[in-house]
Structure 1
Amino acid sequence: MTDTMIGVIGGSGVYQIDGLEDARWRAVESPWGAPSDEILTGTLDGVRMAFLPRHGRGHPHSPTSVPYRANIDALKRLGVTDVISVSACGSFREEMAPGDFVVIDQFIDRTVQREKSFFGEGCVAHVSVAHPTCPRLGAACLTAAREAGVRVHEGGTYLAMEGPQFSSVAESRMYRAWGCDVIGMTNMPEAKLAREAELCYASVAMITDYDSWHEGHDTVDINDIVRTLTGNADKARDLVRRLPNLLGSERALCPHGCDRALEYALLTAPEKRDPALTAKLDAVAGRVLGA
């Protein structure tokens, strides 16, 4: 058993955790650069918590410029065991309406300008992201949403686009035809990096609009999005407040193997590994590198 520490990465509209005891903002240094912001730490119902505003306080980071590697590395260095992503998204499904939440279980990654791995030349690793979210953690988010009175959908495919522009109508119709359920700009490569860091990861997508495919909603109005974001943020904070009681202060090994994702992933022989890169991997992969 290990101590649970819940890390919440808050997206647009979600900039804090309410009710934290001994709350303080902490600067965490990472060899992968500076995280998006300082990290708010404390305890909630006896469980350690960490909150990182994905875009930084005041929203200085675009979806492309978010330092995803530094963010995941910093959370791992703090001792986070379980990461909850909360983010705004558009919907491709009539039944998934603005104001609803979706607990994501699949992704299609269409981002093109982001560093997507901690590994590379000098230390090669391949992890599986066939099932990119943790079912155990997703189930806790689903229960928390229901207890909070949120209309929530179990499972969904999230199309991650580069942005920062919203989709054209043709793109929106294409993604809908692909079978995607929602669209956003930030969960990739975040989910991939969390898997490489052996962190359980769950994604709660908060629907703000119908993207541009929907008849009568063929343009995405930022003013409408902001209004919906405000209501969603209150629901998201209520969801987060319920997670410590659901997850508990102690955790066993993840039954789905998220915390052992690197067990057989490293391919580079020890004598061929780049010392500079392996030094940077001390938090992410120290368990298997012998750090």
Structure 2
Amino acid sequence: MGHVVINASLALIFSAAMGSAEKPHAEFSGAGGTLAIFVPTSTGLVIAADMRQSPHGVFCDGINKILLPHRPRTAVVVTGNITLQDTSNIPKAELCDYLAKNRAPIDFGRSALEFLDSTTAPFAELNWAALTDQIYQSIVPYIKAGNLSPFFGTEIAQIIFAEFERDTQSSKLLSLTVNLDSAGNFTLQPVRVTAATTIRGDSFNLDSDRQILPFGEVPYYQQHVVAGVGKQFLTHDYFDLVAKSKVADVDPGLASAAAVNLISAASKATEIVAAPSGIGGGESAVLLGSETQVLR
């Protein structure tokens, strides 16, 4: 499931700001690194994620990356750089404690939760242009100040929104990437998750084909977990899940066990073949079903 931008004719939202010629202040760095697995099931959507961030190559563990807004049966996961801030004067030995205690000026997860909690609109009717403006307003001062120059020309983060629609028994996903081009112009764009992705994301009902959807360190997952050194750590739960044909066939208990196993296998694989960013630090999982359940 690569991060391929949807055809420009389907572009959902766009906003831009040029970096100014002002003298740069301290350059920001990112705290991120995530592998998350999404599995639609017969009674809800299972999400599992690792719990490690790796600022400046330092491992900060026990970080909850599955964010739950107040609106029911909804979750957000951010991959890539979850937060951006100036940590240039923080000793590496103090980085984890500093990040835990200090609110980052740019926090994509916080922006996503605030956006979701500001509206009661159904998932299919959410105003993504409003989210674009919200993130734009939080990031543009630092673009103009020169703080984000190291991120020009990159995909900074990916924000995955997920919801289980109880009335239709459907799992819905929309993935948006935060990008800065080489001139510092900002865009927030939808990306293709499956061959059936539309401008409003993906929807999986009971008749849909069984899916195991990775986000974050996807190339590493594909090359070194399900087809490489990590395969030795996969249990029967994963192979039982792969054998299922339709979403209706997938029990949430099996999906949870398999998704957590995949995260654990990836963590163990990184001890043999290092991932581009840290994967590890424990596993968390939730089920978006008739209610939201924190599984671990």
Tell me the TM-score normalised to structure 2 length. 0.27
Higher RCO (CA 8 Å, separation ≥ 6 residues): 2
Q: Which has the higher strand share?
A: 2
Tell me the TM-score normalised to structure 1 length. 0.27
